[in-house]
Structure 1
Amino acid sequence: MSSTARIRALWRHPIKGHGRETLESVTLAEGQTMPWDRRWAVTHEATRADGSEWAPCANFTRGAKVPALMAITSHTDETTGTVTLSHPDRPDLHFDPETQEQAFLDWMRPLMPETRAQSTGIVRAPDRGMTDSEFPSLSLINLASNADLAMFLGTDLSPQRWRGNIIFDGALPWAEDGWIGHTLSIGTAQLLVREPIIRCRATTANPDTGARDLDTLGALDRLRGKQEFGIYAEVTRAGTIAIGDTIEPV
């Protein structure tokens, strides 16, 4: 890591695939996701998940199948356990995912294509967030890599397409590929970078509108020969991270 990488944004996604919210700082626990990240997930008519344990993303309603979901933003009240969802085509919804499932399903229905399996409920794994990875992970996104792909596409590219947790700059484009297998010190925490993130069609949707507008997967194929963007890391030492913190190898 030849230059100093720094956190420029922190994001979490309380309901998997249904909204993002920004944070200034967060305290991480060893072996866990970012607190409240993917705390809940939304089942559909073909799901096999019952909330008793982690399940793969195919069991849940998500942006890869329903691009309109990418335009949802959220705000969580950790004291009351309530979530507020916002979307450009829907009124805001303030609800408790534990007790007001039907209100959420009613709010969601106009966003769901009739040709897709409809959402049926909200589940929560007892001991971890419903990340796409089999292990509880945080995702790191390099703004320089995002800018390089945007240049290749010839258009602006919001980093929110990648639904990351830790957004950083100060590293060269695609430098994060070389971090796999290494431990990073961030704030007072340490994270082990475990694997690249293989991307899906959710990234083709505009996070402001929820409409598919860019062939991000094809661009990654042409630019890099693979549909990977960003990295998954595991918290190996608990601690607090904040915007402005440096990211350094241990």
Structure 2
Amino acid sequence: MPGRKRQQDLGNMASLSERQRDILGRVRAAGHAEIGALARLYDVSPQTIRRDVNALCAADALRRVHGGVELPRQGANLHYASRRSLNEGAKRAIAEAFAALIPSGVSLAASIGTTPSYAIQALEGQRDLTILTNNLNVAICACDRESWQVQLPGGTVRPDDRDILGPGVEAFFARYQVDFGVFGVGGVAEDGTLLDFTEEEVAARRAIAGNCRRSVLLLDRTKFGRPAHVRGGHLTEVDHVICDAPLPGALAAALAARGGEMTITGEAQ
């Protein structure tokens, strides 16, 4: 039964309307929304909005509260399908900017998360790539490219997140020195600390960053202030940050002072 429910939830996410996706993005940015305010914003009835948010709640993307809707409980990430559809335009723009940095014939380590999967998907023009990843969606995409090689660590799969974590993953990345390490994060604190939802996520990300010649952080603007709670690394330790909006001034200056680069895609949300 749990497996059947998971498949139903993923199917619900795939069939969301444009308005439902927009509602999800707005609640993701603000943390909550009132039914009445959403009805006025979209010029529809409260009953219509209730049907929209009920669909989002059925997919475990949101949670109903009295008079409105909010994100799932703090400290838990959204289901992969929910996250993949969230801010999709920004993520695709970030992915295209990443693809412009990557030549053929190099090696990459790619982390868990939705934005790295978009980034690897965008490398459709590159040949002879070697991809190391604990992200199953990245692996599936990479397997479709005739001249690419794909390597995965052993371990237990997290079905809802479509990835592999644990000490074996950290040891896997530590065995290699790749040309590029590409990763996202659960959130970025005001002081630039990088945040994720579990210690295993942080450890895997840091293993990638520590075993590559050039680290690339893919970051959409909603990650700033997001309440992930496990600390691990700092934005200024990254070689290149690609974001859909300018970084806060102090962080941008600190990154530049340490020799880091920025690419701003300018994708409006």
TM-score by length of 1: 0.28
Greater Rg by CA? 2
Of structures 1 and 2, the one scoring higher in RCO (CA 8 A, sep 6+) is: 1
TM-score by length of 2: 0.27
Question: Which structure: greater strand fraction?
Answer: 1
